[in-house]
Amino acid sequence: LIHFYKRKMSASRKIFDAHFHIFDLEKRDSFPNQNVSMGFPSPDQAAIHRNHTASEAEQAMASVRITEAIFVQCYNDCPEEIDWVLNQFQGKECLKGFVAGLDPTKHNKLKENIEKFSKIENPKFVGVRHLIALEESLDFSIREDFLQGLQILAEHGLTFDLHSYPNNIQHIPTIAKRIPKLKMVIDHIAKPYYHDESAFKDWCEKMKQAAECPNVYCKLSGLINEIPDWSVEKFKPYVDFCVEVFGVSRCFYGSDWPVCNLATPPIQYRNVPELLENLLASRSESEKDDIFYNNA
């Protein structure tokens, strides 16, 4: 009965999905400046290795009455992706914002596209992501040209999404202190090495250091597909720690649809918010409302 009640709450709760994708494989292969990020999704990711449309995304979120969401880039240095996404969502109301794949090291191109996308009122241009985990050097994020690009984002009131793993989050405090006006979001709780229990302590230490910077936020996303036979118990230590060190006010929900469909056993969209609902079972209703909607 308790489990049913929690599931029912999740279905009725107001939710803002702050992280989803759509893509078209043929369109992806036609983008200029082909780079390693454009290998996504790969043939090895069989469950999602096909086109995913705006209508399909809208329908998936509508299954739990979500009507507000933010698209997050898939491809580095690819403003053309955003042009395509905006075209796909014409006439649809669910897209409220987008995070573009712009390269912070290409300053002139960055400024040109910030000017272009900032003219769009709805959906709103909210930030930039560059898949730093795909860069060869773990020190890429503290290169001077990269930091200068992040400063440009801060000057325009844009956020920066950190596509991070435990081996490249150690520089977050350095960036946060260098550019205190830049709001940064750690995607997918920095993708902990869930299968290596010995890595938990190191992940905790680095996330705590990041959380000590008030301009760093944590997206409670990208969970369900990371552990086979996923369960609340397997993710609870990680989510509990994130909410503890960042505080409720700097945590928020994202589905990472359709990547979440890589989960085993297979899932439906509703399983993603239900998982987080159960992970937050000890939190008050107002705290859960903040994480699921108000903080987005």
Mean pLDDT across 95-123: 98
Supply the pTM of this predicted model. 0.95
Q: What percent of the chain has pLDDT over 90?
A: 94
Decide if 255 contacts 269 (C-beta within 8 A): yes
Give the position of tokens 């712009």: 102
**CA distance linking residue 242 with residue 238, whole number of Å:** 6
Q: List, for residues 113-132, the tens digit of each pLDDT value.
A: 999 999 999 999 999 999 99
Q: List, for residues 50-60, the tens digit of each pLDDT value.
A: 999 999 999 99
Q: For the chain, report the end-to-end CA distance as a whole number of angstroms.
A: 31
Q: Is the pLDDT reported for residue 4 higher than 60? A: no
Q: Which residues of 159-185 are buried (b: 16+ CB within 10 A; e: fewer)?
A: bbbbbbbbebbbbbbebbeebeebbbb
pLDDT band at 11 (very low <50, low <70, confident <90, very high): low
Tokens of 83: 């042009």
Mean pLDDT across 28-40: 97
Decide if 128 contacts 107 (C-beta within 8 A): no
